[in-house]
């Protein structure tokens, strides 16, 4: 699921793998592609990918 980098921190998320539920600010930042400006947001309990954000290249 793609999310907005400026607003994801206040959105509610859940992990389909372990059942964790919480706010975006609790997610872990996973892999980041500097070339494509894409960052993963992972479950803080099990590390499963929950969402990703994509920025704009400047």
Inform me whether the pLDDT recorded for 1 exceeds 90. Answer: no
Q: In Å, how far are 4, 34, 44, 55 from 22, measured between CA atoms? A: 17, 27, 10, 23
The three-point CA angle 8-13-19 to 5° equals 155
Query: Residue 22 burial (CB < 10 Å; 0-12/13-18/19+)?
Result: middle
Per-residue pLDDT, 36: 81
Per-residue pLDDT, 13: 97
Residue 20, domain extent: 2-54
* pLDDT tens for each residue of 19-38: 999 999 999 999 999 888 89
Q: Give the total number of structural domains in the chain.
A: 1
Per-residue pLDDT, 35: 80
* pLDDT tens for each residue of 47-57: 999 999 988 75
């Amino acid at each position: 699921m793609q999310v907005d980098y400026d607003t994801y921190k206040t959105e509610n998320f859940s992990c389909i793998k372990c059942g964790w539920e919480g706010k975006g600010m609790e997610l872990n930042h996973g892999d980041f592609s500097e070339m494509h400006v894409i960052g993963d947001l992972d479950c803080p309990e099990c590390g499963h990918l929950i969402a990703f954000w994509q920025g704009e290249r400047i």
